[in-house]
Structure 1
């Protein structure tokens, strides 16, 4: 059921990360927005602090619009379902060999979370 959505996510991330990125990105975060649909935006931050979610507030890179839409008809209506779906899709992507996943794994960490909420770690370097 989520395969078309996974493909859309993977293609979107690969397209975002094909362009040169600013130097100094330590970690990446996927901002999740709740509106008519859920939407994802990718940011890059110059620092990563495992015990302080504020690291994701200091971005030096932000993906351009459009954001990636996660339709409620696919992921579910409740915010918890949107967050769980985003986390699951990103975890699957991070374990792939896609170009964007390789680039993301060159950082210290990748997380996801609502803009005004807690972050959920999707991946971290050993």
Structure 2
């Protein structure tokens, strides 16, 4: 997935959505479907650095929370690596500054059935 596709999707969410102030952490979840991979964004009103279960909370769900990645048959480790890189690149952009993501205690990604990888 290109940075542009990811950035356009996330920019739209950051412009149109206003999570409540009690949302303190965000999770970019990854799932594998019969058509390839999808990513989604949710926010949690709790965060514990020692317990990854916070990422299971969906206290904030943007209207367009899903991004279809396609890439059926691609290696899951490659998909995870690309998404981690997309997020890391995004948080270096000016659009990230003053966004609700910038104010978060934590930002993480990972497959729903796997390990959590903290970006922030």
TM-score by length of 2: 0.86
Q: How does 1:96-111 map to 2 (within 5 A)?
A: 96-99=93-96, 102-111=99-108
| Contact 2:23 2:43 survives alignment (8 Å) | yes
Which residue in 1 is equivalent to 2:41?
Answer: 42
Describe the SS at the equivalent of 1:9.
Answer: helix
**Structure 2 unmatched runs, 5+:** none
| Contact 1:43 1:60 survives alignment (8 Å) | yes
Which residue in 1 is equivalent to 2:30?
Answer: 32
Which residue in 2 is equivalent to 1:17?
Answer: 14
Q: Could you tell me how far apart the structure 2 residues matched to 1:85 and 1:96 are?
A: 17
- How many correspondences in the alignment? 118
- For residues 22-68 of structure 1, give each alpha carbon's deviation from its aligned partner in whole angstroms, at most 9, with x where no partner exists: 23001101011112222111100011111111011122111334621
Q: Could you tell me how far apart the structure 1 residues matched to 2:70 and 2:7 are?
A: 16
Moved over 4 A (4+): none
Instruction: Rate the CA distance shift 1:101–1:38 in 2: closer, same or farther, 3 A.
Output: farther
Instruction: Rate the CA distance shift 1:70–1:26 in 2: closer, same or farther, 3 A.
Output: same
Which residue in 1 is equivalent to 2:57?
Answer: 58
Q: How big is the alpha-carbon RMSD for the aligned residues of Structure 1 and Structure 2?
A: 2.0
Q: Could you tell me how far apart the structure 1 residues matched to 2:115 and 2:65 are?
A: 23
Q: Which of 97, 109, 112 is the equivalent residue of 2:109?
A: 112
Structure with the higher fraction of residues in helix conformation: 1
**Structure 1 unmatched runs, 5+:** none
| Contact 1:41 1:63 survives alignment (8 Å) | no
Q: Could you tell me how far apart the structure 1 residues matched to 2:6 and 2:102 are?
A: 16
